[in-house]
Structure 1
Amino acid sequence: MTTPDGAAADGAAADGVTADGVRCEVTGGVLRVTLARPDRANALRGQDMGVLLRALEDAAAGGAVRAVLLRGEGRNFCGGADLVAANAQGGERPPLGAMIRNLSATAHRLVRTLWDLPVPSVAAVQGRAAGLGLHVALACDFVVAADTAAFSEPFAQRGFTADSGGTFLLPRLIGVARAKQMLIRGAVVPAPRALEWGLIGEVVPVDELATAAGELAAELAAGPTLVHGLTKALVSEHLTADLPRALDAEARTVELSLRGEDFKEGVRAFLGRRAPVFTGR
């Protein structure tokens, strides 16, 4: 990565960090991260989260990156974690506690890194933003959504509890009653209602999304980066004193819920493209 005048910049590793599911580039002080698995609704695998973390942590280390723009390729922003990849056949059953360690190293680390990022971040959301995909968007400072976007928490319908900050982020943004509608009942919230609820900050016509989000990221990149970072830290300090505790509690309840029969049924139903039949076990 180089600065606009062509000189090498510190933190250059954020530029060109790529994998088959994620593309990163830095232009005009903006780290542009594209989730690039449109055939899978840009669902995130472990390796995708690793690439995202590398790019974000490099950006946080300083240098030419002054804002982050996160977007999805194709019809959807991000459908969540890739359950198909995570539950591939033939693997041994993980030992007790493995999910806690895995979440701490991947999804939870990703959400916390975005939340604590010392430069402002923008999520450009079209189509679905579900589960981890929703939380990644909400961990950004600004969410610009297409008028066709929809937001959801599919965890209960899959037979396990929410992770990656869902039970922390939603009550703070939209209140307890609405958070329960999403987390327990699985309510799908269209973009206009999400704006009304305060879940997101802006809704634009779908064909204006790229321009609107790009202009916002450029505006932020042109602003006082240190002030932005300090302001973010102050706001987060007042709102997020218990974030590590919330993430730890989520990891522990996910570990427990994954041991139940309902989780197995949720995955079977998801893979079989049918409605799950839960037994409460």
Structure 2
Amino acid sequence: MTDFLHYAQRGHVVTLTMNAPERRNPLTGNTAVDEFLRAIERIEADDSVRAVILTGAGTAFSSGGSIQEMERQSSGEVTGMEIRRDYRRGIQRLPLALFNLEVPVIAAVNGPAVGAGLDLACMCDIRIASENALFAESFVKLGIIPGDGGAWLLPRIVGLSRAAELTFTARSIDAGKALEWNLVSQVVPAGQLLATANELADAVAANPPEAVRLAKRLLREGMHTRLDTLLELSASFQAMSHQTADHRAAVTAFLQKRMPVSGSN
């Protein structure tokens, strides 16, 4: 994973850095999706990982789709059915993989997140932004539509009216407006972005990992599940949680008025 995505681990925290700054970290026309999928598989297989930070190298978070790839798709060289297949076998695997990853993912948006780049940030659980960040759901400006799940993700984050405004106008909003619209939860100076992301990731990683994973699964399922179904799933997850060593240690520590010592640390 050296061509596009840099994988680095510090304790329980993995940082994934999109590393094509000269092209503003595009997600198509390269190996980006395959590298993301391999990284997610690696994270899933490593129980020591408790939080993930995703950011971009250079001045941009991600420019989204490659213009060169769009030119190829519109040139007549490929059929509509081939393009459909390419989407299903390509970038559409990314939202599914990130959605199903139980380890929390923090997007540290360092610069412009455009088109599929904005949608990539929306695939993460938490988004924080530097003051240099810009956000644009820019597909219609190029005569196309969000093909990577953005039309499902964005309204669930900012609401339907604001998602429609971003999608139909293709205008960009700055970090301050993104904070106002709840697209991000924090805006920090550019020089403090990764430090803030690491502090947040450490706070996540300090908690019992199985409880965090199950809590993320409930939040994700709650995005599309009926209340009664979610309550039933919650009861099952809670039954498992009550039997863990981390829960027993936390209860004992609380009764003894001391900090818990997690067996998972």
Runs of 4+ in 1 over 3 A off after TM superposition: 85-89
The residue that corresponds to 2:8 in the other structure is: 25
TM-superposed CA distance for 1:96, in Å, is 3.4
Question: Could you give the per-residue CA deviations for residues 190-240 of structure 1, whole angstroms, max 9, x where no partner exists?
Answer: 111111111111111111111101111222223222111111111111213
Q: Equivalences for 1:117-196 in 2 at 5 Å?
A: 117-196=101-180
Distance 1:192 1:176 in 2: 20
Distance 2:113 2:11 in 1: 27
Q: How many pairs were matched up?
A: 225
Mind listing any 5+ residue stretches in structure 1 that lack a counterpart? 1-17, 243-281
The residue that corresponds to 2:255 in the other structure is: none
Query: Which residue identity lines up with residue 99 of structure 1 in the other structure?
Result: I
Q: Tell me which of 206, 213, 220 is aligned to 1:236.
A: 220
TM-score (norm 1): 0.75
TM-superposed CA distance for 1:63, in Å, is 2.6
SS of structure 1 residue aligned to 2:34: helix
The residue that corresponds to 1:219 in the other structure is: 203
Distance 1:212 1:177 in 2: 30
Q: Equivalences for 1:57-72 in 2 at 5 Å?
A: 57-72=41-56
Distance 2:172 2:80 in 1: 32
TM-superposed CA distance for 1:241, in Å, is 4.6
SS of structure 2 residue aligned to 1:77: coil
TM-superposed CA distance for 1:88, in Å, is 4.8
Q: Tell me which of 14, 18, 28 is aligned to 1:35.
A: 18
SS of structure 2 residue aligned to 1:24: strand
Assess if the C-alpha contact under 8 Å between 1:28 and 1:218 holds in 2. Answer: no
Residue 96 of structure 2 corresponds to residue 112 of structure 1: yes
Percent identical: 34
TM-superposed CA distance for 1:153, in Å, is 1.0
SS of structure 2 residue aligned to 1:53: helix
Residue 27 of structure 2 corresponds to residue 44 of structure 1: yes
TM-superposed CA distance for 1:48, in Å, is 1.4
Assess if the C-alpha contact under 8 Å between 2:61 and 2:112 holds in 1. Answer: yes
TM-superposed CA distance for 1:104, in Å, is 2.1
Residue 76 of structure 2 corresponds to residue 98 of structure 1: no
Q: Equivalences for 1:203-214 in 2 at 5 Å?
A: 203-214=187-198
Taking a change above 3 Å as real, the CA distance of residues 232 and 196 of structure 1, as seen in their structure-2 partners, is same
Q: CA RMSD in A?
A: 2.0
SS of structure 2 residue aligned to 1:32: strand
TM-score (norm 2): 0.79
Distance 1:230 1:136 in 2: 22
Distance 2:11 2:17 in 1: 16
Mind listing any 5+ residue stretches in structure 2 that lack a counterpart? 227-265
Question: Could you give the per-residue CA deviations for residues 119-168 of structure 1, whole angstroms, max 9, x where no partner exists?
Answer: 11111102100111111111111111002211001100000111211111
Distance 1:66 1:207 in 2: 24
The residue that corresponds to 1:198 in the other structure is: 182
TM-superposed CA distance for 1:85, in Å, is 4.2
Distance 1:124 1:82 in 2: 21
TM-superposed CA distance for 1:42, in Å, is 0.9
Query: Which residue identity lines up with residue 6 of structure 2 in the other structure?
Result: R
Distance 1:219 1:71 in 2: 18
Assess if the C-alpha contact under 8 Å between 1:154 and 1:183 holds in 2. Answer: yes
The residue that corresponds to 2:252 in the other structure is: none
Distance 1:162 1:171 in 2: 12
Query: Which residue identity lines up with residue 174 of structure 1 in the other structure?
Result: V
User: Which of the two has higher C-alpha Rg?
Assistant: 2
Distance 1:156 1:96 in 2: 18
Taking a change above 3 Å as real, the CA distance of residues 27 and 172 of structure 1, as seen in their structure-2 partners, is same
Q: Equivalences for 1:50-89 in 2 at 5 Å?
A: 50-85=34-69, 87-88=71-72
Distance 1:60 1:107 in 2: 19
